[in-house]
Amino acid sequence: MAGKCIDKVIVEKFRHLENVEFKLGKHITIISGCNGTGKTSLLGLIGHVFTYKKHNTIYNRPFETQFSEIFRFSDKYDLGGTHKYSILFKDKTTKKAVSRETTEKGKKRFRIDVGERTTDKGKIEKPVQYFGLKRLIPLAEEKESSVKFNTEDNLTDTEKHAFNSLYQQIFATSINVKPEHAKSTNKDNYTPITDTYDSYGVSAGQDNIGQIILALISFRKLKDIDDAYSGGVILIDEIDATLYPAAQKNLLDLLLNQAKDLDLQIIFTTHSSDILNYIFSRKTSFFKHFTEFVYLDNSIPKIRVLQDKLDLQSVLADLNHEALTTTKPKRVNLYFEDNEGKIFFNNIIKNKSLADKVKSQNVSLGCGNYANLIKARFPEFNNSIVVLDGDYKSVLENKYKKRVVFLPGVVRPENVIKEFLQSIDENDKFWDTNIGGYNKRAFTQSIIGLNDDRNSMKNWFNTNKVHWGKGCSKLFTRWKEANEEEVECFLNDFIKKLNSILNP
């Protein structure tokens, strides 16, 4: 992102926020936490360090936050010099702010000065838009005498088309809307109307989205007309308010795409479990490199910021004032690529008192399918172990080591057994010494002309296993004797991962 991209916020002291800091996402930052943790205050502090006088928005408002929209200061508790914070930027520069008391027209005023109080060392020039909860007041609840419609229309046909298109994406509708200018005591904006209802019939959610869309269109216009444009900031308090779950998710997708295109940092607060579920589930894909999640925790008297290594269950438990409980599974599910791998595994763990702790599932999937399910954080694999053939170990061991074990060897289980039988001589105790028994010569005959492909090896394995004892136990007992070190290494790895699930 060009220009002054915010990297970090450090609050030395602002009301109940003290010595807290957090990173901002390249394009999206989600701030969550219980009521009274200072989420809205953080939006105000961020927006206050910027100013922009060159152009107004489409709805003829400055690209600036109004401090009075966010804060009302207390003569008793808000004292000059006690509030201090810093905004750090990606270019390694810092902008500091500190509170100050003054008297204007005989009244005590409270100000927060940004940088040094000189013309060129104060606020940073960057366009900002803030959306507080006032945006949610329906026009129908305003005094009728204060509401005026169509007093101005600054939108081009292209912008009206964009308004309609973005609206349809968020609400997944084919209904066409057009923006109608509406001005009242609390609002000066465009609302989405149709051929069947006017601004009085617009819901709070539709009005909310209409205002956010207009902000995006305003930034796009600014990008077109300002040669020095280098991105901007949008601050939204309680982004989920008045929106149903699907609209919330669609809005997040749209905001990220627009933020990339317009070089925006969009910072919003939310309590929505739907948004939190969506963000956490998609953190590894669509949102991964562009998003930061910030949680303000007030479970102890001092508010603390939690950001790295947060999990959804802990966050939702705190928002619901519940203690997070971990249910230990009685048995761990095991998944295999095929039946041959299951036979191999069952013989390795035999007599190791592990059978009552695991349950083999009758599911056979390819290694790639398991890898995709684990990568997508499919819930089942949080408390399961996938047993893969050894031929994938060199490729996947470092990627999926937490819930995956690899069978001994560097080839398929069938090939491991074939190579072992080839390696022992005809006098080995494994072979049947009776005439017509399963001896080295019978084995050698079975592999003449055998192709080394998956299906051929499986057919060979299943045809010959009748000679290897019940459940292939005779064969694997001998194989384990010859491969004690590999068996021990596998068991140690498996038991370690098993215990991490059973005794987290």
In this structure, what CATH number is given to the domain that contains residue 66? 3.40.50.300
- Is the pLDDT at 28 greater than 70, yes or no? yes
Q: Which band of pLDDT confidence, cut at 50, 70 and 90, is reported for residue 1?
A: very low
Average pLDDT over residues 208-217: 93
Q: Which of 297, 319, 341 is the last residue of a domain?
A: 319
In the chain, the number of structural domains is 2
Comparing 429 with 144, the larger pLDDT belongs to 429
- Residue where the block lists tokens 């047993």: 387
The boundaries of the domain holding residue 150 are 6-319
Q: Phi, psi at residue 301, to the nearest 5°?
A: -55, -40
Q: Which ranges in 49-156 belong to alpha helices (H)? A: 67-70
CA distance 373 to 380: 9
Angle, helix 484-502 to helix 473-482, in steps of 10 degrees: 100
Per-residue confidence (pLDDT) for residue 155, from 0 to 100: 86
Instruction: Tell me the per-residue pLDDT of 234-265, one tens digit each, with 9 for 90 and over.
Output: 999 999 998 999 999 999 999 999 999 999 99
Average pLDDT over residues 202-214: 88
325 within some domain = no
- Of all residues in the chain, the percent with pLDDT exceeding 70 is 90
Comparing 5 with 143, the larger pLDDT belongs to 5
CA atoms within a 13 Å half-sphere pointing along the CA-CB vector of 481: 10
326 within some domain = no
Q: Which residues are CB-contacts of 156 (< 8 A; sequence separation ≥ 6)?
A: none
105 within some domain = yes
- Is the pLDDT at 376 greater than 60, yes or no? yes
Do 415 and 282 lie in a common domain?
A: no
Do 199 and 107 lie in a common domain?
A: yes
Q: Are 187 and 101 in contact (CB under 8 A)?
A: no
- Is the pLDDT at 198 greater than 90, yes or no? no
Altogether, the residues listed in the chain come to a count of 504
Do 73 and 130 lie in a common domain?
A: yes
Do 254 and 293 lie in a common domain?
A: yes
Do 264 and 368 lie in a common domain?
A: no
Instruction: Tell me the per-residue pLDDT of 266-296, one tens digit each, with 9 for 90 and over.
Output: 999 998 988 988 888 755 467 878 999 999 9
- Of all residues in the chain, the percent with pLDDT exceeding 90 is 42
Q: Which band of pLDDT confidence, cut at 50, 70 and 90, is reported for residue 110?
A: confident
List residues bridging with 130 in a β-sheet. Answer: 235
Q: Phi, psi at residue 104, to the nearest 5°?
A: -130, 125
Give the DSSP letter string of 319-359.
Answer: HTT-----PPPSSEEEEESSHHHHHHHHHHSTTTT-GGGEE
Q: Which of 319, 354, 381 is the last residue of a domain?
A: 319
CA distance 313 to 233: 30
Q: Are 303 and 44 in contact (CB under 8 A)?
A: no
Instruction: Tell me the per-residue pLDDT of 428-469, one tens digit each, with 9 for 90 and over.
Output: 999 987 777 899 999 999 999 999 998 999 999 999 999 999
Average pLDDT over residues 494-499: 87
Question: First and final CA of the chain: distance in angstroms?
Answer: 41
Give the DSSP letter string of 384-408.
Answer: EEEEE-GGGHHHHTTTS-SSEEE-S
Average pLDDT over residues 1-24: 86
Do 276 and 353 lie in a common domain?
A: no
Do 43 and 20 lie in a common domain?
A: yes
Do 312 and 176 lie in a common domain?
A: yes
Do 76 and 192 lie in a common domain?
A: yes
Do 315 and 169 lie in a common domain?
A: yes
Per-residue confidence (pLDDT) for residue 2, from 0 to 100: 46
- Residue where the block lists tokens 């001998």: 478
Comparing 323 with 202, the larger pLDDT belongs to 202
Average pLDDT over the chain reads 85
Instruction: Tell me the per-residue pLDDT of 316-358, one tens digit each, with 9 for 90 and over.
Output: 888 887 766 555 557 888 888 889 999 999 898 876 567 778 8
Q: Which of 319, 348, 375 is the last residue of a domain?
A: 319
Q: Are 46 and 8 in contact (CB under 8 A)?
A: no
1 within some domain = no
Do 228 and 369 lie in a common domain?
A: no
Instruction: Tell me the per-residue pLDDT of 115-142, one tens digit each, with 9 for 90 and over.
Output: 765 544 688 999 999 998 888 876 767 7
324 within some domain = no
34 within some domain = yes
102 within some domain = yes
Do 294 and 362 lie in a common domain?
A: no
116 within some domain = yes
